[in-house]
Amino acid sequence: MTNSEQIKVLLIEDEEFDARRVENTIKPFAGRIKICDMVSDGKSAMDLLELKKNFYDIVIMDFQIAGGLRGEQLVKKIKDIDPSLQIIVITKMTINITDYEFAHGLIEAGAFWYCTKYPGDIEEYIYQPTDFIMSIFNAYERRKLIKEKQRSTQKLRKNVEDILAGKKIIGISEAANKLREQIAKYSNSNVPVLISGFSGTGKELVAYNLHYNSPRKYENFVPINCGGIPDQLIESELFGYEKGAFTGADKSKPGLFEIANHGTIFLDEISELPLSAQVKLLRVLQEGEVEKIGRTDKIKVDVRVISASNRNLEEEIKEKRFREDLYYRLNVVPISVPPLHQRKDDIIYLADYFMNEFAIDMGKEIPTINEDAMKVLIDYNWPGNVRELKNLVQRLLFYDEKIVTPELIESALGKKISQLDAYFGIDGVSFKSPDQPFSLRQMEKIFREKYFKYIRNQAESDSEAAKKLGLAPPNYYRMCKELGLK
Ligand SMILES: Nc1ncnc2c1ncn2[C@@H]1O[C@H](COP(=O)(O)OP(=O)(O)OP(=O)(O)O)[C@@H](O)[C@H]1O
Ligand SMILES: [Mg+2]
């Protein structure tokens, strides 16, 4: 404690004689310990503590005071207002001082310290002065520690909130809602989760959300791409090694499981894990212990395992590339993230979200995606899923156009994306085989829209277009309206 810090005390005492004795006892340290206020009952104390929140450091309270609110009950109420406030209780000799239960009850209620007043014939002091003063100093240090801890927890909480804000799952589709529900349901437990889905669908995003919504959120989240590390290095990455374990091991290296201890490890592209590493991983999952290379005793770890794969692991098992027993250990809870073309409702929301985020990041004006362009985005098949959409939006911003049109999208994607181009040949009769066939109704709508636009572009007027299409003008106008063409 520095000398300039003053300890602010609230004294709750209804006998003037004792209040004076308390003042006298701390007098040698009057510059450092200041009795700022004095009240004679519990209710007034509570009022004052509410009024001057964060002002007092320590409450010194007499056990026997007038009014209903006193003793343990008062201690608890004070701690409810501010858990960092420290309470010193003083009692009269009449209380049986060998009654341990009595003192224990006070401490349990939240008091910092408890002492028995000197007999009434000692007018100078309330208690042995150096002990009394030391206890006040100690109580103050304790309050500072608690405050510091509160501050750092607050900071951590803020960090986690920031991370989660940047990892929001956007979308209104049933699939997106289901993902959010699953995250809420499984983030609170430690069960292993296996996330499956095509590349770019948001598997890693789900893993982040599972960790940062879990009780492990202040601990490490350690992602590793099992497909991105050469086979011969993966085991030392995951499990670490001791100094001298092999030539070249000039210092020991902690494995990712050790780094993730108490937190979460995210094993991405788990299908790529070599078989020998699969055996070791299985043992870690079964025993909760890591075998570090070059070390005889095992290291206990407490790590939640989330894994992801864009390959069908059941196929991999059939092909003997993936261990079945490991699969069951990892796949306790399966979460599947559907491809973007199966949740088209999300496309507009994702596009808007990325547009806003990138525009702000890049300090650019937010362009408007016009109706036709939106349609193109919705119709497109998105083989690269959300990642492809995100990248496209970023590229669109570099054009510095106020309005995003279908042509701009085609240019940014570097390919013609009209569905007709994808599914019809030039002559309009041969089909390419789509991997996700449209229903007849969808196909008809796509066709009509494209064909109407094509003819209208060639015609000088609407009546000419109607004629070319072989339609009576009223029918032509009605169909244009139905197709959303003006
Ligand atoms: N629903 C969503 N809302 C917002 N952003 C999303 C959503 N889904 C995916 N993204 C973003 O798209 C990008 C790709 O997602 P992510 O990396 O999670 O995919 P993945 O399934 O792990 O892909 P891969 O299999 O290629 O590793 C990330 O930048 C992610 O933040
Ligand atoms: Mg990924």
| Residue-wise pLDDT tens digits, 108-132 | 999 999 998 999 889 899 999 999 9
Is 343's C-beta closer than 6 angstroms to any atom of ligand 1? no
Is 370's C-beta closer than 6 angstroms to any atom of ligand 1? no
pLDDT at residue 259 tops 90: yes
| Average pLDDT across the chain, whole number | 90
Is 272's C-beta closer than 6 angstroms to any atom of ligand 1? no
Per-residue pLDDT averaged across 63-82, rounded?
A: 92
**Predicted local confidence at residue 430, as pLDDT:** 46
The segment with the largest mean pLDDT, out of 20-34, 99-113, 418-432, is 20-34
Question: Atom of ligand 1 at shortest distance to CA of 390?
Answer: 12
Is 197's C-beta closer than 6 angstroms to any atom of ligand 1? yes
Question: Atom of ligand 1 at shortest distance to CA of 202?
Answer: 18
pLDDT at residue 248 tops 90: no
Name which residue sits closest to atom 13 of ligand 1, judged by CA.
387
**Predicted local confidence at residue 2, as pLDDT:** 58
User: Domains in the chain, please, with CATH?
Assistant: 7-149 (3.40.50.2300), 167-338 (3.40.50.300), 342-482 (1.10.8.60)
Q: Find the ligand nearest to 198 CA.
A: 1
Name which residue sits closest to atom 8 of ligand 1, judged by CA.
202
Is 225's C-beta closer than 6 angstroms to any atom of ligand 1? no
- The percent of residues in the chain predicted with pLDDT above 90, rounded, is 66
Q: Which range is least confidently modeled, 70-79, 82-91, 139-148, 453-462?
A: 453-462
Is 338's C-beta closer than 6 angstroms to any atom of ligand 1? no
Is 336's C-beta closer than 6 angstroms to any atom of ligand 1? no
pLDDT at residue 434 tops 60: no
Is 390's C-beta closer than 6 angstroms to any atom of ligand 1? yes
pLDDT at residue 417 tops 90: no
**Predicted local confidence at residue 453, as pLDDT:** 81
Q: Is 299 helix (H, G, I), strand (E, B) or coil?
A: strand
**Predicted local confidence at residue 424, as pLDDT:** 47
Is 386's C-beta closer than 6 angstroms to any atom of ligand 1? yes
**Predicted local confidence at residue 484, as pLDDT:** 79
pLDDT band at 431 (very low <50, low <70, confident <90, very high): low
Is 340's C-beta closer than 6 angstroms to any atom of ligand 1? no
pLDDT at residue 422 tops 70: no
pLDDT band at 436 (very low <50, low <70, confident <90, very high): low
Is 301's C-beta closer than 6 angstroms to any atom of ligand 1? no
Q: Which range is least confidently modeled, 28-37, 247-256, 274-283?
A: 247-256
Q: Find the ligand nearest to 387 CA.
A: 1
Name which residue sits closest to atom 12 of ligand 1, judged by CA.
387
How close is the Cα of 105 to the center of ligand 2, in Å? 54
Q: Find the ligand nearest to 167 CA.
A: 1
The tens digit of pLDDT for each residue in 326-363 reads 999 999 999 999 999 999 999 999 999 999 999 999 99
Q: Find the ligand nearest to 206 CA.
A: 1
Is 203's C-beta closer than 6 angstroms to any atom of ligand 1? yes
**Predicted local confidence at residue 359, as pLDDT:** 94
Which ranges of 89-223 does DSSP label H, i.e. alpha helix?
Answer: 100-109, 129-166, 174-186, 203-212
Per-residue pLDDT averaged across 462-486, rounded?
A: 87
Per-residue pLDDT averaged across 9-37, rounded?
A: 95
Ion ligand 2, residues whose Cβ is below 5 A away: 204, 268
pLDDT at residue 442 tops 50: yes
Q: Which range is least confidently modeled, 74-78, 235-239, 482-486?
A: 482-486
Cβ 89 vs Cβ 132: under 8 Å: no
Question: Atom of ligand 1 at shortest distance to CA of 337?
Answer: 21
The tens digit of pLDDT for each residue in 272-303 reads 999 999 999 999 999 999 988 888 888 899 99
Q: Which range is least confidently modeled, 188-202, 236-250, 382-396, 445-459?
A: 445-459
pLDDT band at 399 (very low <50, low <70, confident <90, very high): very high
How close is the Cα of 304 to the center of ligand 1, in Å? 21
pLDDT at residue 457 tops 80: no
pLDDT at residue 88 tops 70: yes
Question: Atom of ligand 1 at shortest distance to CA of 204?
Answer: 18
Q: Which range is least confidently modeled, 147-151, 407-411, 416-420?
A: 416-420
Is 171's C-beta closer than 6 angstroms to any atom of ligand 1? yes
